[in-house]
């Protein structure tokens, strides 16, 4: 009986940055995890579909999401119309549908990355010289990237071509959190909890690499407003702090999928001049870089997220019904 209590407490007290060190799958055999196990089995089935079947499944799921998850679809519509006002209505609608597919297909790409790795995926690398120069410098590298629709497949590509860890947010389900973290660590050097800033800085000071994605809305507390596609956007300034405290090079990396194929382009750009001593200017600089790469393949960015949820003082929500109707 004492052992059972220990196991339950063990799972409940799971620590973000040490998940795969402390746990094994046998810690999650209780009946309350059986539905999660079924979901994991479903991910494996998706992963082993032929690529054409994956694409067809993605298109089918996109049609379902459009009708079932209406609030998410409305968020995507709002984001596209805010960021691409110069497109005519037909062009906007086409981009919305393309982005919906890419964002939904990202779920299937995640299943592939977690359950099959990069098997069957073709990768083209651009800008290898920038990576070589950064690695020869000897300092830690803060790999500046973003929430692309193929997020976890992109992470697997990053982990395969360079030595880096990544920051992640703990999932509420302990079994899924362990499965997710273990799957990511097959390719990445390590995972570190989003709140473990000291751990991030320690890794960078030791000369390690860290993939960092600061392009989501974390609220007004640690953010400033900078333009993103012309929209004042709450953006955290942590990039400057991490680069300075970790004595790290900030190396931007991006990627995209070639059409509906299984070929992905992995692109490394020259280092950004961060930190400059001006956190606002640093934030504007990397946001401009992000805007430039998103504009090249706008359908493959994670538009389902409410990127503009936090508004400047006095400005109404852009996601309210009356705001959406005015776009």
pLDDT tens digits, one per residue of 289-320: 999 999 999 999 999 999 999 999 999 999 98
Tokens for 228? 């993103």
User: 190, 165, 168: which is closest to 20 by C-alpha?
Assistant: 190
Q: How far apart are CA 285 and CA 239, in angstroms?
A: 11
pLDDT tens digits, one per residue of 7-36: 333 333 334 556 777 888 898 999 999 999
Contacts of 326 (CB under 8 A, 6+ apart): none
Tally of domains in the chain: 1
> Domain containing 267: what range?
2-326
Tokens for 157? 């590509």
Q: How far apart are CA 194 and CA 213, in angstroms?
A: 11
Q: How far apart are CA 242 and CA 275, in angstroms?
A: 9
- Long-range contact list for 178-182, CB < 8 A, 24+ apart? 178/14, 178/19, 178/20, 178/23, 178/25, 178/27, 178/28, 179/40, 179/114, 180/114, 181/19, 181/20, 182/19, 182/20
Confidence band (pLDDT; 50, 70, 90) for 203? very high
Find the helix or strand (DSSP H, E) in which 210 lies: strand 209-212
Helix 89-116 and helix 70-83, axial crossing angle in degrees, nearest 10 = 120
- The whole-number average pLDDT for the span 108-120 is 96
Confidence band (pLDDT; 50, 70, 90) for 51? very high
Q: What is the pLDDT of residue 68?
A: 94
Arithmetic mean of pLDDT over the chain: 91
Q: How far is CA 79 from CA 58, 160, 214, 223, 226, in A?
A: 21, 32, 18, 19, 16
Q: How far apart are CA 160 and CA 143, in angstroms?
A: 14
pLDDT above 80 for 323: no
- The whole-number average pLDDT for the span 116-132 is 95
Burial code (b: 16+ CB inside 10 Å, e: under 16) for 61-78 equals bbeebbeeeeebbebbbb
Q: How far is CA 2 from CA 24, 26, 33, in A?
A: 19, 17, 21
Q: What is the pLDDT of residue 162?
A: 86
pLDDT tens digits, one per residue of 57-108: 999 999 999 999 999 999 999 999 999 999 999 999 999 999 999 999 999 9
Q: What is the pLDDT of residue 63?
A: 95
Cis amide leading into 275 (omega within 30): yes
CB 201 within 8 A of CB 210: no
């Amino acid at each position: 009986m004492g052992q059972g209590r220990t196991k339950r407490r063990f799972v409940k007290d799971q620590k973000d940055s040490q998940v795969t060190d402390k746990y094994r799958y046998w810690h999650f055999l209780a009946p309350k995890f059986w539905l999660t196990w079924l979901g994991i089995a479903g991910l494996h089935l998706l992963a082993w579909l032929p690529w054409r079947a994956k694409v067809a499944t993605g298109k089918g799921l996109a049609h379902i999401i459009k009708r079932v998850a209406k609030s998410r679809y409305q968020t995507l519509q709002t984001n596209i119309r805010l960021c691409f006002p110069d497109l005519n209505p037909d062009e906007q609608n086409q981009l919305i549908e393309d982005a919906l597919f890419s964002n939904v297909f990202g779920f299937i790409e995640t299943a592939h990355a977690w359950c099959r790795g990069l098997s069957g995926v073709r990768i083209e690398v651009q800008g290898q010289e920038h990576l070589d120069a950064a690695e020869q410098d000897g300092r830690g590298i803060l790999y500046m990237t973003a929430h692309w629709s193929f997020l976890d497949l992109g992470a697997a590509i990053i982990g395969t071509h360079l030595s880096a860890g990544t920051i992640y947010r703990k999932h509420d389900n302990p079994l899924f959190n362990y499965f997710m973290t273990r799957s990511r660590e097959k390719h990445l050097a390590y995972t570190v909890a989003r709140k473990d800033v000291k751990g991030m800085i320690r890794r960078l000071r030791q000369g390690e690499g860290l993939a960092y994605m600061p392009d989501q809305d974390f609220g007004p507390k640690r953010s400033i407003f900078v333009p993103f596609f012309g929209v004042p956007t709450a953006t955290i300034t942590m990039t400057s702090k991490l680069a300075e405290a970790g004595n790290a090079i900030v190396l931007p990396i991006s990627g995209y999928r070639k059409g509906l194929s299984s070929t992905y382009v992995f692109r490394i750009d020259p280092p950004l001049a961060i930190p400059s001593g001006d956190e606002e200017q640093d934030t504007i600089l990397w946001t401009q870089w992000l805007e430039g790469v998103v504009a090249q393949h706008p359908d493959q960015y994670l538009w389902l997220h409410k990127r503009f949820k936090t508004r400047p003082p006095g400005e109404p929500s852009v996601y309210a019904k009356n705001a959406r109707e005015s776009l």
